[in-house]
C-alpha cells in the first residue's frame, strides 16, 4: 500500500541494504582476505533462499529432525503469581535443546549446497557447538568448534557431547578466553581454509550476510508464534514479546513475527553485558553495532552467569531496532536470573536455560508495568546444561 508521499513504506524488519546495513548499523568490516568468502556466501544464500527446493528441504529438516513446530504453552501458575497472562514459546523442546538448531540446519544445508565439507563454529555455552556438531554428523561433515578455555571449564558436559558427535573442540586461549575470543579463532581458521570450509556463525551478528541470514533461518520462530498466538488470542497478538539477547538470534527470530504489529518488543541483556543498554556504537567481529567498550574504544569483557550471553556486542539489527525505538532493551542482574530460574522450575515444571531466565527475570521485575497484559516469552532453551552450575551455586560450594 502507498503512503501519503506515494512511496511504499519500508517494513520495520525488511532486508538490509545491498551493503548489509540495518539503518546505520551492520555492514562488512573485515580484512581484505575475508571479503571474497563473504561475497561468495552472500551470493549462495540469496540463490538458495530463492530456490523452492532448498526451502522445502529446510522446512522438512525443521519438522522431521528438529521437531518443529514448537508449541506455545500457557503458563498458568506463573500467570497467577505474576498477575498477568504468560505464554511461552517452547524453543526448549527442539532437538538439542534450544532455538540454535534452526540456524545450524539452514547453514549446514547451505554449506552442502556450496560443496563445503568442513564446518567451523565458535561456541560460548556450548549450545551452538553442539548444534553445529549435530548438523555435521547428520550431513557427514568434518566439524571444528572453537571454545574459550574458561567456557570449556564451565560447560564440560557440552564439550563431551560435541566429542560424542564427532567434533573436535579447540580451546581459545587469548583474551578473556570466552566467546569473543572463540569467534576470533574461528574467523582466523576460516580465512586459511575457505576453499573447503564453511563458517557456521552462531548468532545474528558478524559481517554481512550473517546477521540477515541467521535472522532469516530463525524467522520460523516468529511465524509460528504469530499463528499460535492468534489462535489463543482471538486473532490478536500479545501486548509484549520478550526474549533474552546475547548476539540476538532468538530475539530477532521471534521479534520478526511481530515487528509489524503494535506488540511491544523487549530484549533483555545481562547487566554485565548490556551492549544495547549502553548505546555505544562501534565495530566488533565484522559489523557496526552497539558494544561494550571503554573511552578509547577498547572492547570490554562481558560478564554474566550465563556463558551463552557472555558477549560484549549485539547483532546490528537490534542496534537498529533500539535506534528507531521499535524495541527496548532492559538489563537484569545475575541474582535476579537465579531467582527466575527457580521460579519457573517450581511453578511450571520447566527448567529453563539461564539465558531465557534473563527475560523472565525482567518480567518479574516489571510486574506492575505488565499487570493485566499478555506477555509472550521466548523460552529459547532448556536448563539441563545449567543444572550442575546452579547446584554448585545454590549449595554454596
Ligand atoms: C545461545 C543461546 C542464547 C543466546 O544467543 P542469541 O543469539 O542471543 O539467541 C539464548 N538462549 C539459549 C538457550 C542459547 O543457547
Q: Quick check: is 122 catalytic?
A: yes
Domain boundaries, the chain: 21-63+100-199, 68-98+218-395
Q: Which range has the worst mean pLDDT, 9-18, 21-30, 245-254, 324-333?
A: 9-18
Q: Which residues approach ligand 1 with their CB closer than 6 A?
A: 98, 100, 125, 127-128, 203, 244-251, 308-309, 353, 355-356, 380-381
The residue that leads in pLDDT, 5 or 128, is 128
CA nearest ligand 1 atom 10, residue: 355
pLDDT digits (tens, 9 = 90+) for 311-349: 778 999 999 999 999 999 999 999 999 999 999 999 999
pLDDT digits (tens, 9 = 90+) for 99-119: 999 999 999 999 999 999 999
pLDDT at 8: 61
Q: Which CATH architecture fits 21-63+100-199?
A: 3-Layer(aba) Sandwich (3.40)
CA nearest ligand 1 atom 1, residue: 308
Mutate to test the pocket of ligand 1, among 244, 313, 358 (most ligand atoms within 8 A of CB): 244
Question: Which residue's C-alpha cell is 522445502?
Answer: 56
Asked if pLDDT for residue 26 goes beyond 70, the answer is yes
Residue-by-residue DSSP string for 197-245: EEE---SS-SSTTHHHHHHHHHHHHHHHHHHHHHHHTTT---SEEEEE-
pLDDT at 216: 98
Q: Measured between alpha carbons, how far is 311 from 299 in angstroms, rounded to an integer?
A: 10
CA nearest ligand 1 atom 4, residue: 246
Asked if pLDDT for residue 239 goes beyond 80, the answer is yes
pLDDT digits (tens, 9 = 90+) for 189-225: 999 999 999 999 999 999 999 999 999 999 999 999 9
Q: Do domains 21-63+100-199 and 68-98+218-395 have the same CATH topology?
A: yes
- Say how many Å lie between the CA of residue 271 and the centre of ligand 1: 16
Distance of CA 119 to the CA centre of its chain: 19
- Set 89, 100, 180, 385: catalytic member: 100
- Set 91, 122, 185, 269: catalytic member: 122
- Say how many Å lie between the CA of residue 354 and the centre of ligand 1: 9
Asked if pLDDT for residue 275 goes beyond 80, the answer is no
pLDDT at 310: 67
- Bridge-partner residues for 288, per DSSP? 26, 283
Mutate to test the pocket of ligand 1, among 355, 379, 387 (most ligand atoms within 8 A of CB): 355
Asked if pLDDT for residue 361 goes beyond 80, the answer is yes
Percentage of the chain modeled with pLDDT above 90: 80
pLDDT at 2: 39
pLDDT at 7: 62
pLDDT at 396: 85
pLDDT at 155: 85
- Say how many Å lie between the CA of residue 308 and the centre of ligand 1: 6
290 within 8 A of 299, measured Cβ to Cβ: no
Joined grid coordinates for residue 153? 571449564
Asked if pLDDT for residue 90 goes beyond 50, the answer is yes
- Say how many Å lie between the CA of residue 397 and the centre of ligand 1: 27
Mutate to test the pocket of ligand 1, among 145, 157, 182, 203 (most ligand atoms within 8 A of CB): 203
Q: Measured between alpha carbons, how far is 354 from 386 in angstroms, rounded to an integer?
A: 7
User: Average pLDDT for residues 350-376, to the nearest whole number?
Assistant: 98
**Topology given in CATH for the domain delimited by 68-98+218-395:** Rossmann fold (3.40.50)
- Say how many Å lie between the CA of residue 356 and the centre of ligand 1: 8
Q: Measured between alpha carbons, how far is 336 from 190 in angstroms, rounded to an integer?
A: 38
Asked if pLDDT for residue 3 goes beyond 60, the answer is no
Q: How confident is the model at residue 6 (pLDDT cuts 50, 70, 90)?
A: low
- Say how many Å lie between the CA of residue 31 and the centre of ligand 1: 27
pLDDT at 1: 41
Q: Average pLDDT, whole number, for the chain?
A: 93
Q: How confident is the model at residue 156 (pLDDT cuts 50, 70, 90)?
A: confident
User: Strand, helix or coil at 147?
Assistant: strand
Q: What is the largest CA-CA distance in the chain?
A: 65
Q: Which range has the worst mean pLDDT, 2-16, 172-186, 263-277, 290-304?
A: 2-16
Q: Measured between alpha carbons, how far is 321 from 334 in angstroms, rounded to an integer?
A: 25
Q: Please name which of 357, 343, 347 lies closest in space to residue 386, comparing C-alpha atoms.
A: 357
The model carries a pTM of 0.94
pLDDT at 292: 78
pLDDT at 298: 72
Amino acid at each position: 500500500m502507498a503512503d501519503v508521499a506515494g512511496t511504499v513504506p519500508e517494513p520495520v524488519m525488511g532486508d538490509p541494504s545491498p551493503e548489509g546495513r540495518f539503518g546505520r548499523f551492520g555492514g562488512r568490516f573485515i580484512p581484505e582476505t575475508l571479503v571474497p568468502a563473504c561475497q561468495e556466501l552472500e551470493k549462495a544464500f540469496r540463490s538458495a533462499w530463492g530456490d523452492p527446493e532448498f526451502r522445502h528441504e529446510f522446512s522438512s529438516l525443521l519438522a522431521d529432525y528438529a521437531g518443529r513446530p514448537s508449541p506455545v504453552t500457557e503458563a498458568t501458575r506463573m500467570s497467577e503469581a505474576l498477575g498477568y497472562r504468560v505464554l511461552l514459546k517452547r524453543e526448549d523442546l527442539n532437538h538439542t535443546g534450544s532455538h540454535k538448531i534452526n540456524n545450524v540446519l539452514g547453514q549446514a544445508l547451505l554449506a552442502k549446497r556450496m560443496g563445503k565439507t568442513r564446518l567451523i563454529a565458535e561456541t560460548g555455552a556450548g549450545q551452538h557447538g553442539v548444534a553445529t556438531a549435530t548438523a555435521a554428523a547428520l550431513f557427514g561433515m568434518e566439524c571444528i568448534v572453537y571454545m574459550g578455555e574458561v567456557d570449556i571449564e564451565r560447560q564440560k558436559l557440552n564439550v563431551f557431547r560435541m566429542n560424542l558427535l564427532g567434533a573436535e573442540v579447540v580451546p581459545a586461549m587469548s583474551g578473556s578466553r570466552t566467546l569473543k575470543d572463540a569467534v576470533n579463532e574461528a574467523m582466523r581458521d576460516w580465512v586459511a581454509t575457505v576453499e573447503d570450509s564453511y563458517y557456521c556463525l552462531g548468532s545474528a551478528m558478524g559481517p554481512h550476510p550473517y546477521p540477515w541470514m541467521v535472522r532469516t533461518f530463525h524467522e520460523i520462530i516468529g511465524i509460528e508464534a504469530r499463528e499460535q498466538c492468534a489462535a489463543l488470542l482471538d486473532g490478536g497478538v500479545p501486548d509484549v514479546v520478550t526474549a533474552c539477547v546475547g548476539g540476538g538470534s532468538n530475539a530477532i527470530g521471534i521479534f520478526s513475527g511481530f515487528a509489524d504489529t503494535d506488540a511491544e518488543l523487549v530484549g533483555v541483556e545481562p547487566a554485565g553485558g548490556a551492549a544495547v543498554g549502553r548505546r555505544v556504537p562501534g565495530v566488533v567481529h565484522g559489523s557496526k553495532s552497539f558494544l561494550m567498550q571503554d573511552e578509547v574504544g577498547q572492547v570490554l569483557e562481558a560478564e554474566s552467569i550465563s556463558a551463552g550471553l557472555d558477549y560484549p556486542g549485539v547483532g546490528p539489527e537490534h542496534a537498529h531496532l533500539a535506534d528507531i525505538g521499535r524495541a527496548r532493551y532492559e538489563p537484569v542482574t545475575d541474582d535476579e536470573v537465579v531467582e527466575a530460574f527457580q521460579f519457573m522450575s517450581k511453578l511450571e515444571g520447566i527448567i529453563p536455560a539461564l539465558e531465557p531466565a534473563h527475560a523472565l527475570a525482567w518480567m518479574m521485575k516489571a510486574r506492575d508495568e505488565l499487570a493485566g497484559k499478555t506477555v509472550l516469552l521466548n523460552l529459547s532453551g532448556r536448563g539441563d546444561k545449567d543444572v550442575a552450575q546452579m547446584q554448585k551455586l545454590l549449595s554454596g560450594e
